[in-house]
Amino acid sequence: MRIGLIGGSGLYDIEGINVLDEISLTTPYGIPSASYKVGEIEEREIVFLPRHGISHNIPPHKVNYRANIWGFKNLGVERIISVNAVGGINRLLQPGDILIPNQIIDFTFGRRISTFYENDRVLHVDFTDPFCSELSHNILKASENVGIKVVKGGTYICVDGPRLETAKEIEFFSSIGCDVVGMTVMPEAVLARELEICYSSICVVTNPAAGISTKKLTSKEVLIMMKSSLYKIKSLIKGIVKLIPYDRHCQCKDALKDADL
């Protein structure tokens, strides 16, 4: 059972990890963002993919999410830990904070293909809890073990980008209970669910969302904050991998049961 790791902005490689193999795939949905690196952490096999490509040349609205997730499935990945840069909407959040979300609002308005089942098979997958409860629990437990403070739970609103939001949009997102805003969790999370892969996210707050601070937002601050948080993410990942049981006890593994019409 392999564990997948999706690197977001600022996380393009898994240096420090013993890389055993590098696999380039072509999928029925096209080509994934990069080749998959297979390596070992704590004697567990990890498959790493940088979502935006190795030189960050793929913007969030152009990522081939279906190819990426299908590739993980094809490589025997049963769980995916995703790293996502986010803007902080909740005023209690500061740049550098890490949040493990438990809910999603999809504000990408269907502009991204968000299903593997669009032709003959009519299937409605349950998405009440979009993140894997067992995997998220392991992330929270690992954060205690390695002494890295994380915020437990929160709502991630996913926008299409690539532009950042207006101040009024963020005010609206705040009024409907969103804590962080980002551009990548959807459709990644639902595509993983459709392939019965567990999926949880480690969100790194890289900036206060638009209008929360009076300063102009820059991509540079996102990358700088992401880079300076990498040491925390890496130690968290090591801690998580140690805790992940070989067998799954969550509902993700049976996501397709009773989902067909």
Position 99 contacts ligand HPA (CB under 6 A): no
Q: Nearer to ligand HPA by C-beta: 41 or 222?
A: 222
By beta-carbon proximity to ligand HPA, the closer residue of 18 and 57 is: 57
Cα dist from 192 to 58, 132, 256, whole Å? 20, 10, 11
Q: Where are the beta strands (DSSP E) in the chain?
A: 2-7, 18-23, 36-41, 44-50, 77-88, 98-100, 103-107, 151-152, 155-159, 180-182, 198-208
Of all residues in the shown chain, the one whose CB is closest to ligand HPA is 87
Burial of 26 (0-12, 13-18, 19+ CB in 10 A): exposed
Region of 86 on the Ramachandran plot (φ > 0 left; ψ -120 to 50 alpha; else beta)? beta
93: contact with ligand HPA by CB under 6 A: no
8 lies in the binding site for ligand HPA (CB under 6 A):
no
Rg of the chain (C-alpha set): 17
Q: Is 182 in the site for ligand HPA (CB under 6 A)?
A: yes
Stretch that binds ligand HPA, among 30-38, 110-118, 176-184, 246-254 (CB under 6 A): 176-184
Stretch that binds ligand HPA, among 25-33, 68-76, 82-90, 235-243 (CB under 6 A): 82-90
Classified as helix, coil or strand, 156 is strand
Which residues make Cβ contacts (< 8 Å) with residue 228, sequence separation at least 6?
A: 96
Is 87 a binding residue for ligand HPA by CB under 6 A? The answer is yes
Interface pick for ligand HPA out of 49, 81, 100, 164 (rule CB under 6 A): 164
Nearer to ligand HPA, 78 or 106 (CB): 106
Give CA–CA dist 73/86, Å, rounded. 26
# of chain residues touching ligand HPA (CB under 6 A): 13
Residue among 47 and 181 whose Cβ is closer to ligand HPA: 181
- In the complex, the residues that contact ligand HPA under the rule CB under 6 A are 85-87, 159, 164-165, 181-183, 206-207, 209, 222
